[in-house]
Amino acid sequence: MTDSPEYQKKRAFYDSLLTIYGRKPVLEALEDPSLPVHKLHLASSNRRDQLIARMEQLAGERQIEIAYWDRKALSRISKNARQDQGVALDLALPQYSSADAFLHNAPDRPYELLALDGITNPQNLGMIIRSACAGGMDGIILPQKGCAQIDPLVIKASTGTVFKMRLLRCERLAPTLAEFRKRGVRVCGLSSHASDTLASLSDDTATVFVLGNETHGVSDAVAAQCSHQLRIPMHNNVESLNVAVTAALISFRRPR
């Protein structure tokens, strides 16, 4: 039965798997004993150079399963045939889950999340993750459609905090935010025309802060799910801030 404890445990484990790719990120992850590695994937056509040999050695020492695939199969695992370099790695991260799972086991306190709507720049995504992690945010909702995904550039920009931050996957953001609102969660968009400021927001309600695309801002479908609008007061005729800077201001808006 799909609701059996064994099934739920297995589903939670597979939900926690984050697949990274690229030789340098994979090698660095294998060299970090603090990262729980599930499986190493290698293309059978790889030339067995020093890097590949080192990965196989580390996997053997850590008793990590190695799976060999043809290039087509490996690209299905990495989801990025152009950049995977014939290598992918599954990490079993307890902090990596789904927005749906978080909702069903939400903390019994006013938590705060960031939700990303169309953040396409990997460096911005990495810096957002880094700020949210340092500022003690409870998680980041990351849609699978319309946003940059976790890749070597994001990992580098996050300086490794991507492995520490709670990332909550969803397929599309607007329906996910609708589910949060049904649970009484406050969904806040950022607007220069809003009457309320970020600093004036009370801390007594679970809140999701929505960050929009670097150029076009928040999409219409997501904006329709925002129950509140907030502004960040700015001086000297500055109209807007980089989305990663905005994420930092939100993440550090109050002591935790």
Mean pLDDT of all residues in 50-70: 97
Point out the least confidently predicted range of 4-13, 51-60, 105-114.
Answer: 4-13
Contacts 24+ apart (CB under 8 A), 100-105: 100/170, 100/176, 100/179, 101/12, 101/15, 101/168, 102/139, 102/166, 102/168, 103/179, 103/180, 103/183
Over residues 1-28, the pLDDT tens digits come to 556 777 777 777 777 788 999 999 899 8
In the prediction, which pLDDT does 5 show?
77
User: Are 61 and 55 within 8 A, CB to CB?
Assistant: no
In the prediction, which pLDDT does 124 show?
97
Point out the least confidently predicted range of 48-52, 153-157, 165-169, 218-222.
Answer: 153-157
Structure tokens at 20: 């990274």
Residues 134 and 115: their CA atoms lie apart, in Å, by 17
User: Are 165 and 139 within 8 A, CB to CB?
Assistant: yes
Please indicate, yes or no, if residue 9 is contained in any of the structural domains: no
Over residues 234-256, the pLDDT tens digits come to 999 888 899 999 999 999 998 77
pLDDT tier, 198 (very low <50, low <70, confident <90, very high otherwise): very high
Q: Which domain holds residue 31?
A: 17-92
- Quickly list DSSP for 205-216: S-EEEEE-BTTT
Same domain for 158 and 228? Answer: yes
Q: Which of 92, 109, 141 is a domain's end point?
A: 92
Could you tell me which residue, 208 or 163, shows the higher pLDDT? 208
Same domain for 186 and 242? Answer: yes
Torsion, Cα of 137, 140, 141, 142 (10° steps):
170
In the prediction, which pLDDT does 2 show?
58
Please indicate, yes or no, if residue 64 is contained in any of the structural domains: yes
Residue whose tokens read 């152009």: 82
pLDDT over 90 at 231, yes or no: yes
In the prediction, which pLDDT does 3 show?
67
Mean pLDDT of the chain: 92
Same domain for 118 and 240? Answer: yes
| Contacts for 82 with CB less than 8 Å, ≥ 6 apart | none
Split into its structural domains, the chain has a count of 2
